[in-house]
Chains A and B, each alone.
Chain A
């Protein structure tokens, strides 16, 4: 549920539940985006460290 959904209410319950949920999803998405973009750049430049 997003704040623009008709069911959304600006109360503590919605803010804590969805704040925590989107915070966690945001970290995971940002982490994976960083890894993928860096891997693409490493592959293009072939300059990544060998693992």
Chain B
């Protein structure tokens, strides 16, 4: 029924089967939309946020999707600025994943501010002393970059491309994409960094505060670095998941190996910097503020040393080691383990830097403040996942996302 829209030569499942899949995911999406409207109409009392937790599950989800969406800017930087041409076979998908992540981040912020109709205030009545203002500026502008990077792929749809204007527009946009990619890298450097900088300048929170360079605490650089390191892991993970669902090979192994190798070296260099930062903070910064390391990891039922070890060793050192070693990187199962661990690692880092900060007692009369999100918060956090699945499903079905798909899935002629 919709075969005229499907890329030429590509095989897709029948429309009824596709529709059933979309309907199931849409049910989850509607659950999230219902919770979203509850938050908008009834207010933020629908959440379990309180005076301890002004930043809650949403801000963790926001930082996590921005971190894993970092694969788009870093892959774009490698493809268009460093001219690593093999990555042209995965850049479309990296951009779509980035588009989903950043639109999700903006959606989460629209719910979080409670009054989305006043969202434009941050641009018009900007507090120029706030790192979050920089985040809002760069996030919005970078979402515009991702939209611009996504448009040519949409215009290459089989029917849209027949329209001469769309055909020429897509071609012209490809021609100047390096400028957009460079702008995206510039914006990403600052907003990824400033999200980390917010934690590093919390002078009243000894768990978060760090020294740094000029106005930027070390967490500024660590956040940008980790997004560039782990973002490609998420791109590879979603690619692998899409291949598993479609039952097709979509990207050649040499492209996967190359991106995994780059990600691996980025993770290794990042994790060395992270270990140095953590050690300096534990041995110098925190004691200078009157706290021992044990204060941040004991006397509560959830946050223990296991979290520190999981983040740095299991989800940092291990995936880094797997991905920089040729034999383990080229082993599909070990590579999958590494990219899953990497994705968990960066999400865990954002959890620690958003929620553990809030939980740790600061004053002598304080106790650990653990937090359980309300169902409305969970539903609105699941909402972007459902939206992402639907957008990827439509993009895969109707757009030429993977240039190598046809070559890798040629139907062999039947021999008698």
> Which A residues are closer than 8 A to B by beta carbons?
1, 5, 7, 11, 13-14, 16-18, 20-21, 24-25, 27-28, 31-32, 34-36, 38-40, 42-43, 46, 48-49, 51
Per-position binary interface string of chain B over residues 169-188, scored 1 when its CB falls under 8 Å from any chain A CB and 0 otherwise: 11111111001100100110
Query: Could you say which residues of chain B place their CB within 8 Å of the CB of A20?
Result: 137, 190
A41 to chain B, nearest CB (A): 9
Top 4 closest pairs, chain A to chain B, by CB: A13-B128, A51-B171, A39-B169, A39-B168
Query: Could you say which residues of chain B place their CB within 8 Å of the CB of A5?
Result: 124
* A to B CB contacts below 8 Å, 22 in the list: A13-B128, A16-B128, A17-B133, A17-B137, A21-B137, A24-B138, A24-B186, A24-B187, A27-B179, A28-B144, A31-B148, A32-B148, A35-B173, A38-B168, A39-B165, A42-B168, A42-B172, A43-B164, A43-B165, A48-B168, A48-B172, A51-B170
Q: A5-B124, A13-B129 are in contact. Are A28 and B148 (CB under 8 A)?
A: yes
- B123 adjacent to chain A (CB < 8 Å): yes
Q: A17-B134, A24-B141 are in contact. Are A1 and B173 (CB under 8 A)?
A: no
Q: How far is the CA of A5 from the CA of B125 in the complex (A)?
A: 10
Q: How far is the CA of A24 from the CA of B188 in the complex (A)?
A: 12
**Chain B contact residue count (CB 8 A cutoff):** 32
Is the Cβ of B172 less than 8 Å from the Cβ of A35? Answer: yes
B266 to chain A, nearest CB (A): 24
Residues of B126-158 at the interface with A, using a CB-CB cut-off of 8 Å, are 126, 128-129, 133-134, 137-138, 141, 144-145, 148
Q: How far is the CA of A7 from the CA of B123 in the complex (A)?
A: 12
Is the Cβ of A1 less than 8 Å from the Cβ of B126? Answer: yes
Q: How far is the CA of A35 from the CA of B179 in the complex (A)?
A: 12
Query: Could you say which residues of chain A place their CB within 8 Å of the CB of B174?
Result: 51
- B249 adjacent to chain A (CB < 8 Å): no
- B205 adjacent to chain A (CB < 8 Å): no
A37 to chain B, nearest CB (A): 9
Residue of A nearest to B190 (CB): A20
Residue of B nearest to A25 (CB): B141
Query: Could you say which residues of chain A place their CB within 8 Å of the CB of B168?
Result: 38-39, 42-43, 48
B353 to chain A, nearest CB (A): 23
- B11 adjacent to chain A (CB < 8 Å): no
Query: Could you say which residues of chain B place their CB within 8 Å of the CB of A16?
Result: 128
Q: How far is the CA of A42 from the CA of B138 in the complex (A)?
A: 33
Q: How far is the CA of A31 from the CA of B144 in the complex (A)?
A: 12
Specify which of A7, A14, A17, A36 is in contact with B169 (CB 8 Å cutoff): A36
Specify which of A11, A31, A43 is in contact with B176 (CB 8 Å cutoff): A31
A22 to chain B, nearest CB (A): 10
Specify which of B125, B133, B173, B183 is in contact with A24 (CB 8 Å cutoff): B183
Q: How far is the CA of A38 from the CA of B169 in the complex (A)?
A: 8
Residue of A nearest to B183 (CB): A27
Q: How far is the CA of A18 from the CA of B126 in the complex (A)?
A: 9
Q: How far is the CA of A16 from the CA of B176 in the complex (A)?
A: 26
B129 to chain A, nearest CB (A): 6
Is the Cβ of B125 less than 8 Å from the Cβ of A28? Answer: no
Q: How far is the CA of A48 from the CA of B171 in the complex (A)?
A: 9
Is the Cβ of B183 less than 8 Å from the Cβ of A28? Answer: yes
Query: Could you say which residues of chain B place their CB within 8 Å of the CB of A7?
Result: 125
Specify which of B171, B186, B190 is in contact with A49 (CB 8 Å cutoff): B171
